[in-house]
Structure 1
Amino acid sequence: MHVVLGANGRAGGEAAYALIKRGEAVRVVLRRKEQGEKWIALGAEISVANIEDADAMADALKGASGAFLLNPPPVSGDPYARTEELGAALADAARRARLPKAVVQSSIGAQHASGTGVIATLNRFEALLDGVAPATAFLRSGYFVETWSEVAETVMSESVLPTFLEPSQKIPMVSTIDVGRAAAAVLCEDWTGKRVVELGGPKDWSADDVAAAFAEVLGRPVKSMLVPPEQRATLLAEEGVPAEVADALLGMYVGIANGLFMRQNDREYRRGTISLTAAIERVIATVKPAGRSSSAE
């Protein structure tokens, strides 16, 4: 039985789907029982628990052969303080449940303790969960292609791709489909000790490449547009992003621009199979162009 956290999110959902497709027994951990209908229909078990509740999480992890663990994206408060609290609670729960195997979602660039904004929270998350199970793997993924869905409405209505990334800078990006498949694959492998598995797409991509993929799918030109650094905090504030979260997110883009979002040459590295065009096609299929969005990636 594999336990999956964050099943209603991007990475967790794809990990659960991939495990089910492999014929594995899956238990998804959700905040509310009513969120579980689709998973029950797919044959998964449901456990209701708050990830910050060590007692409830220990119960959810009991009897598992392995688990996919993650630090959910911050939505409010201090992301760094929240990581400390959540990581400590989750580590306590895993040890109390005697979890034998863990795959922990992380990010490329998490080797850096500072200078990477919100990614630095995953450096700390890795430290808190290091050794949480006899077999522990940290899955450091590239920039999620599906994150571009946050500006897809703007692309579709204006043929412009707003970006906080320097348009020509290629970085590791990956579809969350590949993230889920990689997580499932590692969970089903046998090993002991600590592993760091870095994951990217078939090749590294830039914002210009993303714009070209949108253009291919939409059948018309799309141009990337760099949002100046001095305008970014205002844009995030207009989108309702709290100041502490915005600071962490903006710090990530500074780290990327400074070349810190890079693989480590001595780490295990895998590439997924989902093309950029296929991932963007899926993004467009899930977006209804109901007006302009001003957020940027």
Structure 2
Amino acid sequence: MYVVLGANGRAGGETARALIEHGEAVRVVVRHPGQGEKWTALGAAVVVANIEDTEALADALKGASGAFLLNPPPVRGDPYARTDELGAALADAARRTHLPKAVVLSSIGAQHASGTGVIATLNRFEARLAGVAPAIAFLRSGYFVETWSEVAGTAVSEGLLPTFLEPSQEIPMVSTIDVGRTAAALLREDWTGKRVVELAGPEDWSAGNVASAFAEVLDRPVVPMLVPPEGRAVLLAEEGVPEEVAGALLGMYEGIANGLFTRQDGSEHRRGTISLAAAIERIVATVEPADRCSAPQ
């Protein structure tokens, strides 16, 4: 039985699906009962728990042969303090239940303790969880291609791709499909000790490449539109992102621009198989019809 946290998120959901497709017994952890219905339909066991609750986490991890653990994206409060609290709760629960194997979602660039904004929380998360299981792998993912879904409506309706990334800067990006498949594969592999596995897509890509993929899928021009640094905080505030969270997110983009979003020497380097065009096509399929109708002709 494998336990998956964050099953209603991008990476956790793909991990649970990949394990189920391999015929494995899966137990997903969700916050609300209604979130478990789709997983029950797929044959997974469902546990309703707050992942910051050590007792509830320990109950969820009992009897597991392995678990997929993660630090959910921050939505409010101090991301660094929250990471420390969650990391401590997860570590305590894993030790109490003698969890034999863990795959922990992290990020490329997590080797840096500072200068990378929200990615630096994962440096702390890794430190909190180091040694909690005889077999532990930190899966450092590239920038999720699916993050571009947040501006897909603008790409479809206006032919513009807003971005905080310099359009020509290529960085490790990867579809969450590949993240889930890799996490599932690691859980199913036989190994002991600590591993750091860094995962990117078939190639490194830039915001310009993403815009070209949107153009290919939509069959019309899409161009990247760099949001200048001085306008980013205002934009995030308008979208309702709390100030502390916005600061951490903007720090990530500063770290990327400064070349800190790079693979670490000595780690395992893997590449997925999902192409950029395939990932963007899946994103476009989720865009609301109203956005499609308003697209320039």
State the TM-score bracket (shorter-chain normalisation). Answer: over 0.9
- Is the contact made by 2:156 and 2:291 (CA closer than 8 Å) also made in structure 1? no
Hey, which bits of structure 1, 4+ residues long, moved more than 3 A? 289-292
Q: How does 1:27-46 map to 2 (within 5 A)?
A: 27-46=27-46
Opposite residue 111 of structure 1, the aligned amino acid is Q
* CA distance in structure 1 between the aligned counterparts of 2:111 and 2:123, rounded to whole angstroms: 6
In structure 2, what is the equivalent of residue 3 of structure 1?
Answer: 3
Structure-to-structure mapping, 1:85-164, within 5 angstroms = 85-164=85-164
Using the alignment, how far apart are the partners of 2:37 and 2:266 within structure 1?
A: 42
Partner of 2:295: none
**Counterpart residue identity of residue 216, structure 1:** E
The DSSP-based 3-state class of the residue aligned with 2:197 is strand
| Equivalent residue letter for 1:201 | G
CA distance in 1, matches of 2:288, 2:263: 35
d(CA) in 2 for partners of 1:265 and 1:119?
A: 18
2:271 aligned partner, one-letter code: R
Q: How far did 1:280 drift?
A: 0.2
Aligned to 1:233: 233
Q: How far apart in 1 are the matches of 2:154 and 2:30?
A: 32
1:191 is aligned to 2:191: yes
Q: Deviations over 1:60-81 (max 9, x none)?
A: 0000000000000000000000
What is the rounded CA distance, in whole Å, between the counterparts of 2:290 and 2:125 in structure 1? 37
| C-alpha contact (below 8 Å) 1:104/1:136 kept by paired residues | yes
1:260 is paired with a residue whose SS is coil
Name the TM-score, length of structure 1 as normaliser: 0.97
Counterpart of 1:166 in structure 2 is 166
Instruction: Report % sequence identity.
Output: 81
Aligned residue in 1 for 2:221: 221
CA deviation profile, 1:105-151 (whole Å, cap 9, x unmatched): 00000000000000000000000000110100000000000000000
| Structure 1 position 287, deviation (Å) | 1.5
Letter in 1 for 2:266: D
Give 5+ residue unaligned stretches, structure 2.
Answer: 293-297
Count the aligned residue pairs.
292
SS of match in other structure, 1:161: strand
Q: Which moved more, 1:282-291 or 1:241-250?
A: 282-291
Structure 1, unaligned stretches of length 5 or more? 293-297
Q: CA RMSD in A?
A: 0.9
TM-score norm. by structure 2 comes to: 0.97
- Deviation per CA, 1:208-247: give whole Å up to 9, x if none: 0000000000000110011000000000000000000000
> 2:242 matched to which residue of 1?
242
8 A contact 1:156–1:289 mirrored in 2: no
Q: Is the 8 A contact 1:153 1:290 kept in 2?
A: no
